[in-house]
């Protein structure tokens, strides 16, 4: 039926409403929203909401639960950084920043990366300030990919890349590294590449979320040798570069400067997750293209947050050191305590996660195990299955939590494991 040219639908079932209806209060009930959902980008249906956030929300209301779930530093942003933001607000810096970021921040970011990792980018043409590293990952992948392309992804891995690859109509090709200590070997990369001629990009993340392993000089050189001279991008997410517990971090951009899109930021190095400032660097010609997508998606990131990040990167070169010492102490405690309980893990060399094998005799389905543990022992961990092939049978344990919480979690785990052994 039409009323002044508008057809009416019944909002509950998906069919036309046959009666003539007046327009009440100017609201036209023209089509059922469920019908419209089916008209949305079909790739969205292929994307699952983040398992990590869903599981974290699911167990949040269990009274007294200790959550070792999120990748969120339990430190506050350094005082000098907060002051810079306050001054920026008081100076009425409330206008749009240049789309790629203020030159002051791009310069501070380029100088930070040069001083720390000996990688060199021109602040004026090779650096973009993104909405967290996440914004950079989105911009980079959507700028690179066409439907039908393939992206090689070593797993287990932080799942965000997978969702964006799918959203772009491209196909993730997983390289399960669980048989090789969670390290991608040059052979595995070479073999996968040979079998996937449509490969447009390779994603690397090191130090790794969720395993904490990282790549050293020789690993990077060998991986770079496989990729050199091929028309393939390397999307290298090095957001945990300041949190390494052995050798200092090295970037793959040292070895493949022309092919690398480098992602970093202040979220983990300066405990600034909520400020949403990331850094994306690439050669000039590539940055010019990336800048278009960044411009048309976020315009620019928050001006005052950029002032804070400028201070962090310029005058807080070693702000991560205090946090790192604490994380390392917690890592050592947790690694030993979990090994004693039968949870074996690769010793993390960076980031703030342990990726531990669920001992035999306990539920081997990682989601079932984490649910049981949350309810029976009041300890929340993230199921390894959230991180792609190779993750099932493992759990991710974040030690970005106080030592007191870690000790409580270990005591509860000990009681839980003992009760399961008794019941067996
Ligand atoms: C590997 C990895 N990359 C990127 C991010 C997101 O960083 P940001 O908060 O700067 O967007 C995270 C957050 O946990 C991460 O673990």
Interval 49-97: pLDDT, tens: 787 888 888 898 999 999 999 888 999 999 999 999 999 999 999 999 9
User: Atom of ligand 1 at shortest distance to CA of 136?
Assistant: 11
How far, in Å, are 66, 163, 166 from residue 45 at the CA level? Answer: 33, 11, 10
CA–centroid distance, 420 to ligand 1, in Å, is 35
How many separate domains does the chain show?
3
User: Atom of ligand 1 at shortest distance to CA of 277?
Assistant: 10
Q: How confident is the model at residue 423 (pLDDT cuts 50, 70, 90)?
A: confident
How far, in Å, are 19, 90, 263, 312 from residue 275 at the CA level? Answer: 52, 17, 16, 12
In a domain, 46, yes or no: no
**114 plus 147 within the same structural domain:** yes
Both tokens of 117, joined, read 């990792």
Residue that is written with structure tokens 């005058």 in the block: 315
Domain boundary, last residue among 315, 346, 363: 315
Residue 16 has pLDDT above 90, yes or no: no
| pLDDT tens digits for range 315-350 | 999 999 999 999 999 999 999 999 999 999 989 999
Query: Closest Cα to atom 14, ligand 1: which residue?
Result: 71
Q: Which of 41, 21, 42, 44 is nearest to 11 (CA)?
A: 21
Domain boundary, last residue among 258, 291, 315: 315
**255 plus 130 within the same structural domain:** yes
**335 plus 418 within the same structural domain:** yes
How far, in Å, are 23, 65, 85, 352 from residue 406 at the CA level? Answer: 60, 12, 33, 13
Q: Which of 152, 163, 117 is nearest to 281 (CA)?
A: 117
**104 plus 177 within the same structural domain:** yes
pLDDT value at position 21? Answer: 53
Q: What is the mean pLDDT of residues 354-363?
A: 96
In a domain, 387, yes or no: yes
**109 plus 247 within the same structural domain:** yes
**409 plus 273 within the same structural domain:** no
In a domain, 278, yes or no: yes
CA–centroid distance, 237 to ligand 1, in Å, is 8
In a domain, 151, yes or no: yes
CATH number of the structural domain spanning residue 382 = 3.90.1150.10
Spell out which residues line ligand 1, taking CB within 6 angstroms: 71, 132-134, 158, 205, 209, 237, 239, 265, 267, 273, 278
In a domain, 397, yes or no: yes
**99 plus 153 within the same structural domain:** yes
Q: Which of 161, 152, 156 is nearest to 188 (CA)?
A: 152
CA–centroid distance, 387 to ligand 1, in Å, is 14
The partner residues of 243 in beta bridges, in order of sequence, read: none
Domain interval for residue 292: 79-315
Q: Which of 168, 143, 211 is nearest to 47 (CA)?
A: 168
In a domain, 132, yes or no: yes
**89 plus 136 within the same structural domain:** yes
CA quadruple 412, 358, 241, 89: dihedral positive or negative? Answer: negative
In a domain, 45, yes or no: no
**151 plus 221 within the same structural domain:** yes
Both tokens of 153, joined, read 């992804």
Supply the DSSP symbol for 346. P
**33 plus 56 within the same structural domain:** no
| pLDDT tens digits for range 197-232 | 999 999 999 999 999 999 999 999 999 999 998 999
Q: How confident is the model at residue 7 (pLDDT cuts 50, 70, 90)?
A: very low
CA–centroid distance, 139 to ligand 1, in Å, is 14
In a domain, 199, yes or no: yes
Domain boundary, last residue among 315, 343, 358: 315
User: Atom of ligand 1 at shortest distance to CA of 208?
Assistant: 1
**341 plus 304 within the same structural domain:** no
**263 plus 369 within the same structural domain:** no
CATH number of the structural domain spanning residue 167 = 3.40.640.10
User: Atom of ligand 1 at shortest distance to CA of 72?
Assistant: 14
């Amino acid at each position: 039926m039409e009323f002044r040219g508008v057809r009416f639908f019944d909002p509950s079932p998906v069919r036309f409403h046959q009666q003539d209806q007046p327009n009440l209060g100017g609201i036209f009930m023209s089509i059922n929203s469920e019908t419209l959902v089916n008209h949305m980008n079909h790739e969205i249906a292929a994307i699952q909401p983040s398992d990590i956030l869903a599981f974290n929300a699911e167990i949040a209301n269990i009274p007294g639960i200790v959550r070792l779930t999120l990748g969120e530093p339990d430190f506050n942003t350094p005082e000098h950084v907060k002051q810079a933001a306050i001054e920026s607000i008081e100076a009425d810096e409330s206008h749009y920043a240049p789309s790629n970021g203020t030159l002051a921040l791009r310069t501070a970011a380029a100088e930070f990366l040069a001083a720390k990792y000996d990688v060199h980018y021109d602040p004026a043409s090779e650096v973009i300030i993104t909405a967290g590293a996440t914004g950079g990952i989105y911009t980079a992948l959507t700028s690179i990919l066409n439907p039908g392309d393939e992206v090689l992804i070593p797993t287990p891995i932080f799942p965000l890349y997978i969702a964006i690859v799918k959203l772009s109509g491209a196909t993730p090709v997983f390289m399960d590294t669980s048989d090789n200590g969670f390290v991608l070997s040059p052979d595995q990369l070479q073999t996968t590449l040979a079998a996937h001629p449509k490969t447009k990009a390779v994603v690397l993340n090191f130090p790794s979320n969720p395993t904490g392993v990282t790549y050293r000089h020789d690993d990077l050189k060998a991986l770079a040798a496989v990729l050199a001279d091929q028309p393939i991008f390397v999307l290298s997410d090095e957001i945990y570069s300041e949190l390494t517990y052995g050798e200092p971090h090295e970037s793959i951009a040292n070895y493949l400067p022309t092919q690398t899109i480098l992602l970093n930021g202040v979220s983990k190095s300066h405990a600034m997750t909520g400020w949403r400032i990331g850094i994306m660097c690439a050669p000039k010609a590539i940055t010019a293209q990336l800048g278009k997508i960044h411009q048309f998606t976020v315009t620019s990131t928050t001006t005052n947050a950029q002032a804070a990040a400028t201070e962090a990167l310029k005058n807080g070169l070693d702000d991560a050191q205090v946090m790192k010492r604490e994380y390392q102490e917690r890592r050592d405690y947790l690694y030993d305590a979990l090994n004693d309980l039968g949870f074996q893990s690769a010793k993390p060399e960076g980031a703030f996660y342990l990726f531990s094998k669920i001992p035999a005799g306990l539920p081997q389905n990682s989601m079932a195990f984490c649910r049981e543990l949350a309810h029976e022992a009041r300890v929340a961990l993230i199921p390894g299955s959230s991180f792609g092939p190779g993750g099932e049978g493992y759990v991710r344990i974040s030690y970005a939590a106080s030592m007191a919480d870690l000790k409580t979690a270990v005591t509860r785990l000990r009681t839980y494991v003992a009760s399961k052994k008794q019941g067996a």
